[in-house]
Structures are given as structure tokens and as C-alpha cells.
Chain A
Amino acid sequence: MQGMTIIVKKITQIMAPVIFLFGLYVIVHGHLSPGGGFAGGVILAAAFILQILSFGSILPSLRREEVWLELLESTAVMGFLVISGLGLLLASFRIFFLNFINRGTVGQLLSGGIIPLENIVVGAEVCAAITTIFIALTVYQDEVTQ
């Protein structure tokens, strides 16, 4: 897959970090406003997809990134299990997914106990998954159809 013209490349250089930051904002504020791990994770993936589409794909570097993304995804799923397992541990094996952190007041940034943590973990997982799927479908597809 080739890259696009210089206009698209320059605008991508400026806009991709902004999209990424907005995704982080949506994830972190998931328990206060619309959004959350799923929406934010897809926005993060969109920033990476924009970069891949505009700069074109160089197969070796994308393969290396794919390994990192797989690692991130596995770590995220693991983190979700660890958070829930900690709840199980602290509730002396009675409640899975115990909300073991102080919940704070509704409407503050630091509230909701483990909910923001789970938001972050799920966001990382969705981002890694969708970017990996995109890389596989657009890059390997060229190999397959030739």
C-alpha cells in the first residue's frame, strides 16, 4: 500500500496526536461523560489507522509494531483479570469484581473505584485489537491476492 500526497501527510502529522489525545480524554472521563473504554479505544485505533493510511505501509516495520500490539493486547486482558482477581482476593474469595478502592463523590475525576482503571485497560485492549485487525486486513491482503 502506498502513501498519499504531501497535503494528507502534513495534515496527518498535525492531527494524529490531537486525535490520540482526544481518545485518551474520552477514556479517562468515561465514568463522567459519554464515552469510555470502548469508544476511546476505537478513537486511539483511528489515530494509528490514519497514520498507516497516509504514510503507506512498510511491511517490516509494521510487522514489528504488530508484535508490540499483540503484547499490549495480551497485557491488557491480563490486567483486567488481575484487577478483578484482586477484588476476589480482598473479599476473601466471596466476591469477584469487588470494587475495592474508595468510591469518592460522584462527578469528580477520581471517583468510581476501579471503574476508571478498568476503562483504561479495556481502552488499551480495544485499541490494540482493532489496529492489529486493520494491519492484518490491509497489509497481508496485498500478499494474499497476488
Chain B
Amino acid sequence: MRYVVLFIIMMLLWLAFTWNLQTPNLIVGGVASLLTAVLFGRSFLRNTVKFFQPQRYFWIIIYLFVFIWECLKANFDVAYRVLNPAMPIKPGIVKVKSTLKTDIGRTFLANSITMTPGTITVDVIEDDFYIHWIYVSSEDPKVYSRKILGRFEKYLKRIFE
């Protein structure tokens, strides 16, 4: 199953690279995709059924807009903290528990957190996220985990689980 899905994805990528539909190109692309699928299929993602569920792609598009909006807000926040002469920063590392169960979801959550300015994922151990935060606004785990993860988590749950 994984091999077939990887083959299809690679074939689509090949067509995107070359952008023509002549027979020699299709044959060469097929052989190349087959080679890639055979060599890398063993280590590809599991649960490939998820690739065929269209509602996930819909949520990916929604998530992109949410992510860009959050990114913009965080940008202005960090710019305010940097440009302010008083420098109102209070850096620290917090430990947050995520409710995401799959590894791929955790990966995307960690990368989203890192890409928003102001927060950086330092490490992920099981479902604990260690996050460096430019302004630790509260000491209560419930409040800050909603502040950091809550924005992304519900969409990622719909995409990856």
C-alpha cells in the first residue's frame, strides 16, 4: 500500500518537474518513480489511507490561512517587544502537553510553533513539548498550553487524525 501511494506521488511530482506528456517522458518517469518507490517505500509514512480522504485537503487550506494570520499577529507582537525601549521580554522554557497522537501531527505542530515568531520548540519527548517563549505571560499550565497550542491543535487534529 505504502509503495503504491509513494509511486503515485512520485509520478505526479515527475510530471510537475518535466511538464510534458509525451510517451518517452512518461515511460522514463514511471521507471524513476518505481525505483524510488522500491527503495524508499520501506521507510515512508504509515497509514497512507489518509491521502485519499478529501476533507483533509480542505482542512489543510483552512489551516494555511489560520497559520498565516497567527504568524502575522506574532510578528507584530515580537516587533513591538523589540522596538519598545523598555524591552518587555520575560523569556523562559515551558513544558506543554499535546493531545495529538500521531507523530506526523506532532512534527507539524512543532514546526508551526517554531515558525511563529516568539516561540521555538526546543525538544519533543513523547507528547511533551518543551517550548522557549519570549514572554511567559502566565504560570498556569492550562492557560499557556491553550495560548501556544490551542491555535493550531484543533485544525491539525482534523488534518492528521
* Direct A–B contact present (CB less than 8 angstroms): yes
Residue numbers in A under 8 Å from B24 (CB-CB): 108-110
Interface of B is mostly: helix
Q: How many residue pairs bridge A and B at CB < 8 Å?
A: 62
A21 interfacial by beta-carbon distance below 8 Å: yes
Would you call B107 and A6 a contact (CB within 8 A)? Answer: yes
Residue numbers in A under 8 Å from B33 (CB-CB): 21
Residue numbers in B under 8 Å from A137 (CB-CB): none
Query: Which of B14, B33, B40, B103 has the most chain A CB atoms inside 10 A of its CB?
Result: B40
Would you call B124 and A25 a contact (CB within 8 A)? Answer: no
Would you call A24 and B35 a contact (CB within 8 A)? Answer: yes
A55 to B33, CA, bound (A): 23
B89 interfacial by beta-carbon distance below 8 Å: no
Q: How large is the interface on B (under 10, 10 to 19, 20 to 34, 35 or more residues)?
A: 20 to 34
B28 interfacial by beta-carbon distance below 8 Å: yes
Q: Which of A12-20, A80-88, A95-103 contacts B (4 or more CB under 8 A)?
A: A12-20
Given contacts A21-B14, A22-B17, A110-B24, contact A7 B36 (CB under 8 A): no
A63 interfacial by beta-carbon distance below 8 Å: no
Interface residues, chain B, CB within 8 Å of chain A? 6, 9-10, 13-14, 17-18, 22, 24-25, 28, 32-33, 35-37, 39-40, 43-45, 103-104, 106-107, 110-111, 121, 123-124
